[in-house]
Structure 1
Amino acid sequence: MRVGEICTVETIYCKRDETVQGAAALMRKHHVGDVVVIEQPNGERTPVGIVTDRDIVVSVIALGLDPASLLVGDIMSDDLLTTSEDDDVYETIERMRFRGIRRVPVVNSAGGLTGIVSVDDLLEFLAEEMGELSRISSHQQAHEKRAKQ
């Protein structure tokens, strides 16, 4: 299955010059735990970083810094892993596992932001897959019962 089929398309984003407080307000308003940082060089929203609620707590609040005076570009994770909407789900899971990343922006062929895939999205997908696998046994047992009659 393709990542584009399971990702969340309503992605919250901002630019590097947004304040950390502004990014936190976006997270609160949209009930999300991250904001994708974008640039728009050719009109495409190109992801260049990500800021999570944990980044804000660990890098700003815990250090006693003022979130209104810091910019998202100052604290964002800029070693950004992205995945194409056409990439295979299992390959993306492996890349996320290898890097220890819980959220990955999804991009189109032009590099524009089209969504985000999170560990929660992937767990939901895998749970559905496991459910389908579990039905194989019950179908097999029903088939065997019919064959014996």
Structure 2
Amino acid sequence: MPIGELCNREVVFARRTTTIVEAAQLMRRYHVGDLVVVDEVGGRRIPVGMLTDRDIVVEIIAKSLPVEGVTAGELMRPRLVSVPETAGVVATIQLMRAHGVRRIPVVDPEGGLAGIVSVDDLLDLLAEELTELAKVAPRGQASETRTRGD
């Protein structure tokens, strides 16, 4: 299954100039723990970084730094890892594991923001798949019993 079929297409995003207070308000309003930071290029949103609630807490709040004037662009993680819509689930999991990320933006062929996928999304999918797989053995036994009449 291509990750583009699984990802959440409604992504909460910020621009580099979004203040940390505005970013926190977006997270609160939309009940998310992260924002994809984007640049607008030719009418497309191009992901350039990620900003998490943890980034705000660890880098600003825990250090008792003032939040005024701090922007998403200054605080975001600049080494963005993204995945193309066409990537498979296993390849996406491997990429997330290799880079130690729990959320990953999904990009279209032109590099525009198409969605986001999280570890929780993947766990839900895998749980459904394992549940279906667990049903195979009992059904096979029932079929064999019907066929052989034992």
Alpha-carbon distance between aligned partners in 2 of 1:26 and 1:34, rounded to the nearest angstrom: 9
Matches within 5 A, 1:1-149: 1-149=1-149
Total equivalences in the alignment: 149
RMSD between aligned residues? 0.9
Q: Deviations over 1:63-117 (max 9, x none)?
A: 1112232111111011000011111111010010111100000110011101100
Alpha-carbon distance between aligned partners in 1 of 2:78 and 2:141, rounded to the nearest angstrom: 52
Gap runs ≥5 in structure 1: none
Alpha-carbon distance between aligned partners in 2 of 1:74 and 1:40, rounded to the nearest angstrom: 17
Q: Using the TM superposition, give the Cα deviation of residue 141 of structure 1 relative to its aligned residue in structure 2, in angstroms.
A: 1.1
Q: Deviations over 1:24-69 (max 9, x none)?
A: 0000000001010000121110000010111111011101112232
Alpha-carbon distance between aligned partners in 2 of 1:121 and 1:90, rounded to the nearest angstrom: 13
Conserved 8 A contact 1:22-1:68: no
Amino acid aligned to 1:87: A
Amino acid aligned to 1:67: V
Give TM-score scaled by structure 1 length.
0.97
Gap runs ≥5 in structure 2: none
Q: Deviations over 1:4-29 (max 9, x none)?
A: 11111110011101111110000000
Amino acid aligned to 2:133: L
Give TM-score scaled by structure 2 length.
0.96
Alpha-carbon distance between aligned partners in 2 of 1:26 and 1:53, rounded to the nearest angstrom: 11
